[in-house]
Amino acid sequence: MAEFAVVEPATVDEVLDLLARYGEEAKPVAGGTWLALVLRQGLLWPSLLVSLRRVSGLAGITVDEVGNLRLGAMTRLRSIETSPLVWERLPVVAETYREVANVRVRYQATVGGNLCDADYASDPPALLTALDARVIAVSQRRWRAIPVRDFILGHYQTVLEPDELVTEVVVPALPPDAGAVYVKYRTRSHEDRPCIGVAAVVVPDAEGRLARAEVVVGAVAERPQRLPEVLDAVRGRALDDASIGEVAERYAAGIDPLSDLRGSAWYRSEMIRVFVERALRAARERAQWEGRQP
Amino acid sequence: MIDAVERVTGRIRFSQDASLPGMLHAAAVRSVVPHGRIARVDTAAALEVPGVVAVVTGEDLRRLPGLRPVYGPQIEDQPVVALDRVRYVGDIVALVAAETPRAAQEAAALVTVEYEELPAVFDPLDALEPGAPLLHELEPERPHEGTALYFGIRPQFGTNCCNLFRIRRGDVARGFAEADLVLEETFRTPAIQHVAMEPHAALALWEDGRLTVWSGTQTPFNTRQILAGIFGLPVERVRVVVPPMGGSYGCKVFPRIEPQAALLAYVTGRPVKFVLRRDEEFVTLTRHATVVTIRLGLKRDGRITAREVRAYWNTGAYADCGPDVARKGGFGIVGPYRIPNVAVDSRCVYTNLPPAGAFRGYAVTQATWASESMMDLAADALGLDPLEFRLRNLLRDGETFATGETLHDVHFAECLERAAAAIGWEGPQRRELGDGRVRAKGLAVVMKGMTTPSRSEAKVGVDRSGQVTVYSSTVELGQGARTVLAQLAAEALGVPYQQVRVVDPDTDRTPFDNRTTSSRSTYMMGNAVRQAALALRERLLLAAAQRLEVEPADLELVDGNVRVAGAPASALTFGQLVEATGQEELVEHGEFRNQGGLDPDTGQGIASSHWHQGAGAVEVEVDTRTGKVTILHAHASVYAGQVVNWHTAELQNLGCIVFGVGSALFEELVYDQGQLVNPNLSDYLIPSFLDLPERMTHDLIERPGAEIHGLGETALPPIPAAVGNAVARAIGARVTELPLTPERVLRAIRARDGERG
Ligand SMILES: Cc1cc2nc3c(=O)[nH]c(=O)nc-3n(C[C@H](O)[C@H](O)[C@H](O)COP(=O)(O)OP(=O)(O)OC[C@H]3O[C@@H](n4cnc5c(N)ncnc54)[C@H](O)[C@@H]3O)c2cc1C
């Protein structure tokens, strides 16, 4: 492990000052569950670790005036899974964070750290993309709201500049009749990262057709996969088995998956078909279609 | 368990906790190439690191006079530090000793090594091809037998085969000629790792020309002998002390880091502690990957006419106890069946991978995977129920095994029937639940030998305070050895077992024992302790009889007193009796041996003085759209003979099932050109509580008057095989390679349907 200094600032301003001064040399530490591993493996050599543990105002779960769920960057994954507010507003968010790693990791890892490490085999990014969530990033230069969809660029790479700090993740509310799910599929232990994870959101219109459909496939490529042309094609149609099958088929054909110890590219293609279908069926179950037969 | 409170409150001092004033810390520099000549090692930068005291290379080792730089329990092929050649990614090229663990690690990272790469080989079949790169040049005239060898070893000189064990019984050619049906299949298992919670840890000290090593090892006496061999000392000048371990499962059988710690202590003149990192654990010892081909001759009525086996055990770069693994697997692979004609060729093969050695189940998990999968294939081919087919062929009391030995106290059929009943074998064996989900059941039987010949000695003493002490070299690795040995002594002496002290193994203080392996301790050491305790009982009775002027037969031992039966007032405490002899402690000695051995060319003789017998049965659910297997219910039936401690015995059965689940479903070390791809616990997964079958049940089968049968491993081998059989029944196709990953299962389903993956 390299030599580095650790500081524990108390305010966001202090953090931003440090990040601006040290640039690439500094790294924020959230839960440290990812950072500790890469430091030990000698993959990163920061000279300054900026602990976010004592920074006030970074942790917490609130609902704003327009009904967005706001998750502070330092909110522990376990806090989301146990939050009555999240279960009330967006249960799928609580369900998804509950599927991450194991309970020991969830007590330590944070919302911000999970997005910022940009590991392809993570669960929340696929769901947050499907929910059209935004990452709030601040620096001494600017304030930005970045759609999660654009936030992760590739393997361990985000659009974040070295002087930027993620302060929160903002998740818009869903219409009350929407159905949303995240289906995580593990090929090895129950504590494993996903071989594939599929987030699906469907919103029916007054006639019982699809007003909105979102399908995002995580952990199969270097960033969450969303195929807008496929989703556009089903909008306005009934969500019957045929259209579900079509989406599943086209996602399987349209994504070029990677191979790792959790499954080969061939296997992942097969699983995209299976789990896009399962996720859409489950989302359909959850949505409110009563009295709106197309 | 007598140490349960210490364990859960963190007060047990494990080997990792051993420390001495002034001690240095070790770190290893490891090869990054799978096979190569060492061209140059540059230690200059490492020596500059503040706190570094020594960096030792193969060159240095060679220059030290009087040292034998290579060791190995069965073949002396492993250098303490690579001398001129590295043979796997992870091989030790240099050792560092420094004031702090951190300085040692930092310095190790600064040692630069240049290699001339040599061709490498990773698959045991490739390694036996003519022209394959040779890992070692074993020669008939050079001694190749390690000190822990208790059987004939047959290296195939000029090849990478370091042991060929054979069984020849009857005439397989005739057996196949008589068969109505001949089946052949090849089965594979991957290398896996033990993942003991506590890593390897050793502390070495030289004092007055004597070497003392505190180490978490299952083999204190073998380790002592091997260390004495390296340093050219009589064994009396080496002392090995074994604190309790945080798990082992075979990875601490035979020296692993003790020679390296001792070498650094020798060079620096300071105590040296060596603790492996988790990633180093992964390249230090593994379970043998195997390739096994079985040919089976069958009669329509279900009789087996012949069995021919070719087994290859990938032992990696150094033999360790691989030769014995190939031998034990060689007879384990026959299975507990009546087969008149048997031919087995079991080969232990060097490759450029991390060394493989002992692992809970010791060869029998891989053997059972092949042989019990084959039994189901045969039952299907004959159109027989797998239970019925096995019951027709299982060995019964007084019948003869392939080694020519007659078996007694035989309970295979009973174990199997109980396991089958436990999962409701009589009900439907396969059910479709809709949505592509299918449930099915599977069975497997296991036969496992115990180290034969071997010997255990024990002493039991009582001192002037009445304290009863067991002196035994059986090591405590979490299995409850201390508890069980205390119980056996306590039972003979009429004291509560919680008051019996069991001292840690110490080759200066505790008497000889072969080793804590092979599920032998409760039986072998248990008998030695019992004998010693009974002798001590006699001595106390005689002493009391004299003093109380009664016949010994009129006395009883109750709660640390010897008293006249029916007259509790007339009593003497153990302490008073000891004091009366004028000695500090009265000590008695016990010894227990078993006898036997096999001819390595024919496999005839006594393989095991008694047999560990069991069966496993599971119900699984397969999602045929993904290939994912869920084990709903796993049951293990184990013949125990006599259970000494129900609590710890049950935990052994359950622990074995958990290990079986990992082996069956996902544990696998993956190598890319000899480089381990998953040397950490995020990429190499072991079962978590959420991975356990919803139902885990088991039986411990007892018989009045029967011998104790070891049970630390028996329930493990049948689990992967039973899961494989259940999955095959569910999907109508067979996966022949472990683990049963969803992808392998899905590919088998597609192959069944004639599709290509
Ligand atoms: C054993 C294990 C299993 C896991 N399994 C899963 C799984 O199944 N699914 C899953 O989704 N994830 C999984 N993870 C990942 C885990 O959920 C966390 O995402 C991850 O470990 C990082 O979280 P952290 O809060 O500890 O971040 P840290 O390690 O502290 O930081 C990660 C990176 O993000 C940067 N960073 C952190 N916070 C900020 C911020 N506010 N602003 C800017 N940069 C920041 C850090 O500088 C660092 O580069 C697993 C992790 C482990 C260790």
User: Which residues of A fall within a CB distance of 8 Å from B625?
Assistant: 274
CATH number of the domain residue A159 falls in:
3.30.465.10
Q: Answer yes or no: are the C-beta atoms of B715 and B656 closer than 8 Å.
A: yes
| A243 and A269 housed in the same domain | yes
- Do residues B600 and B327 touch, judged by C-beta distance below 8 A? yes
CATH code of the domain in which A27 resides? 3.30.43.10
Which phi and psi angles does B446 have, rounded to 5°? Answer: -135, 145
Question: Are residues A156 and A194 both part of a single domain?
Answer: no
B630: exposed, middle or buried (C-beta count within 10 Å: 0-12, 13-18, 19+)? Answer: middle
Task: Work out the average pLDDT over B421-449.
Answer: 96
pLDDT recorded at residue B96: 98
- B467-499 pLDDT, tens digit each: 999 999 999 999 999 999 999 999 999 999 999
Round to whole Å and give the CA distance between B431 and B621: 9
Within 6 Å (CB) of ligand 1, which residues are found?
A: A 27-35, 52, 73, 100-101, 105, 108-110, 112-114, 116-117, 122-124, 160, 165-166, 193; B 682
Q: Are B202 and B213 in contact (CB under 8 A)?
A: yes
Is the pLDDT score of B627 beyond 80?
yes
Say if residues A79 and A36 touch (Cβ distance below 8 Å).
no
- The secondary element (H helix, E strand) that includes residue B298 is strand B289-298
Q: Which residues of B touch A (CB under 8 A)?
A: 102, 109, 625-626, 628, 665-666, 670, 677-678, 682-683, 685-688, 690-691, 741-743, 746, 757
Taking CA atoms only, the protein residue closest to ligand 1 atom 4 is: A101
Confidence of residue B513 (pLDDT cuts 50, 70, 90): very high
Tokens 């380790």 sit on residue:
B223
Whichever domain contains A277, its CATH number is 3.30.390.50
Cβ separation of B743 and A267 shorter than 8 Å?
Answer: yes
| Cβ contacts of B109 on chain A, cutoff 8 Å | 42
CA–CA distances in Å: residue B463 to residues B88, B539, B546: 52, 13, 19
Full strand arrangement of the beta sheet holding A26-29: A5-7, A48-51, A26-29
Mean pLDDT of B349-368: 98
The H or E element containing residue A7 is strand A5-7
Mean of pLDDT values over B264-281: 98
Tens digit of each residue's pLDDT (9 = 90 or more) over B206-255: 999 999 999 999 999 999 999 999 999 999 999 999 999 999 999 999 99
Distance A106 CA to ligand 1 centre (A): 10
| A185 and A85 part of one domain | no
Spatial CA neighbour of A220 closest among A111, A294, A90, A122: A122
Higher pLDDT, A122 or B144: A122
Domain-located, residue A91: yes
Average pLDDT over residues B651-661: 98
Q: In what order do the strands lie in the sheet with B501-503?
A: B501-503, B468-472, B454-463, B585-594
Q: E-strand spans in B111-242?
A: 112-117, 161-169, 181-189, 201-207, 210-215, 238-241
Per-residue pLDDT at B70: 95
Does the pLDDT of residue A197 top 80, yes or no? yes
Residue A56 lies in a domain: no
pLDDT of A292 over the 80 cut: no
CB A60 within 8 A of CB A155: no
Nearest to A189 among B109, B666, B670 (CB): B666
Segments forming the whole domain that contains residue A90? 61-171
What is the pLDDT at residue B580?
A: 95
Domain boundary among A132, A154, A171: A171
Which residue, by CA, sits nearest to atom 15 of ligand 1?
A114
- Mean pLDDT within A182-186: 98
**Residue B601, pLDDT score:** 92
Residue B652: the pLDDT is: 97
Element of type H or E holding B149: none
- Tens-digit pLDDT profile for residues A232-262: 999 999 999 999 999 999 999 999 999 999 9
The pLDDT tens digits of the residues spanning B94-144 come to: 999 999 999 999 999 999 999 999 999 999 999 999 999 999 998 887 756
Task: Give the closest-approach CA distance of A255 to chain B in angstroms.
Answer: 18
The secondary structure of B664-694 as a DSSP string is HHT----EETTEES--STTTS----GGGS-S
CATH no. for B365-449+610-756: 3.30.365.10
Asked if the model's pLDDT at residue B757 lies above 50, the reply is: no
Confidence of residue A294 (pLDDT cuts 50, 70, 90): low
| Amino acid present at A4 | F
Tokens of B414: 């009973």
Contact B53, B268 (CB under 8 A): yes
Contact A149, A217 (CB under 8 A): no
> How close is the Cα of B669 to the center of ligand 1, in Å?
25
Q: What's the rounded Cα separation, in Å, for the pair A212 and A130?
A: 11
**Percentage with pLDDT > 90 across chain A:** 95
Q: What is the mean pLDDT of residues B70-80?
A: 95
CA nearest neighbour of B448 among B595, B219, B608 = B608
Evaluate if residue A120 carries a pLDDT over 80: yes
Last residue of a domain, one of A108, A139, A171: A171
Contact criterion met (CB below 8 Å) for B563 and B555: yes
Position B149 scores a pLDDT of 82
What integer pLDDT is reported at residue B7 of this predicted model? 87
Number of domains in chain A: 3
Q: For residue B653, report the phi and psi dihedrals to the nearest 5 degrees.
A: -60, -45
- Together in a domain, A187 and A273: yes
Indicate whether A56 pLDDT > 50: yes
**Is residue A294, in this structure, part of any structural domain at all?**
no
Gap between the Cα atoms of B736 and B311, Å rounded? 14
Residues A66 and A166 in one domain: yes
Q: Which of A37, A188, A266 is nearest residue B685 as measured by Cβ atoms?
A: A188
Number of alpha helices (DSSP H) and beta strands (DSSP E) in chain A: 12, 13
Q: How far is B189 from B197, CA to CA, in rounded Å?
A: 24
> Mean per-residue pLDDT for B537-544?
97
Q: Are B337 and B378 in contact (CB under 8 A)?
A: no
CB pairs under 8 A between A and B: 48
Q: Please state the domain extents for chain B.
A: 4-120+194-282, 365-449+610-756, 454-594
Residue A67 lies in a domain: yes
pLDDT above 90 (res B733): yes
Structure tokens at B202: 């050793």
Claim to verify: residue A79 and residue A165 sit in the same structural domain: yes
Angle made by CA atoms A29, A30, A32, in degrees to the nearest 5: 70
pLDDT of B260 higher than 80: yes
Same structural domain, A218 and A267: yes
Average the pLDDT over B409-421 and give the result.
98
**Token pair of A39 as six digits:** 């430091």
B472 token code pair: 């035994």
Contact (CB, 8 A) for B523 and B450: yes
Q: Is the pLDDT of residue A103 over 70?
A: yes
What ipTM goes with this model?
A: 0.96
pLDDT at B151: 86
Question: Is the pLDDT at A90 greater than 60, yes or no?
Answer: yes
Does the structure show a pLDDT above 90 at B520?
A: yes
DSSP string, A84-140: HHHHHH-HHHHHHHHTSS-HHHHHH-BHHHHHHT--TT-SHHHHHHHTT-EEEEE-S
Whether B454-594 and B365-449+610-756 are alike in CATH topology: the answer is yes
Cα–Cα distance for residue pair A277/B306, rounded to 1 Å: 50
Please tell me which residue of chain A has the smallest CA distance to B743: A267
Parallel/antiparallel/unpaired status of strands B238-241 and B210-215: parallel
Share of chain B above pLDDT 90, in %: 95
Architecture label for domain B454-594: 2-Layer Sandwich (3.30)
Write down the CATH number for the domain with range B4-120+194-282: 3.90.1170.50
Give yes or no for a contact between B455 and B446, defined as CB atoms under 8 angstroms apart: no
- Cβ-contact B464, B233 below 8 angstroms: no
CB–CB of B372/B725 below 8 Å?
A: yes
Residues of A in contact with B669 (CB under 8 A): none
When CB atoms are compared, the residue of A1, A192, A270 closest to B746 is A270
What is the predicted pLDDT for the residue at A40?
A: 86
pLDDT of residue B755: 60
CA A245 to chain centroid = 25
Give Rg (Cα) of chain B.
Answer: 27
| A285: contact with B, CB 8 A cutoff | no
B742-752 vs B718-731: helix crossing angle, rounded to 10: 40
> When comparing pLDDT for B569 and B617, which is higher?
B617
Cα-trace Rg, chain A: 19
| CB within 8 Å: B691 and A190 | yes
For residues A56-71, average pLDDT? 98
In a domain, A134, yes or no: yes
- pLDDT tens across B418-429, in order? 999 999 999 898
Give yes or no for residue A114 having a pLDDT over 60. Answer: yes
Distance of alpha carbon B398 from alpha carbon B339, whole angstroms: 15
Contacts of B608 (CB under 8 A, 6+ apart): B449, B450, B452, B596
Question: In a 3-state reduction of DSSP, which class is residue B207?
Answer: strand
- The SS3 call for residue B459 is strand
Are A185 and A195 in contact, with CB atoms under 8 Å apart? yes
Burial class of B589 by CB neighbour count within 10 A (0 to 12, 13 to 18, 19+): middle
Q: What separation in Å is there between the alpha carbon of A103 and the centre of ligand 1?
A: 14
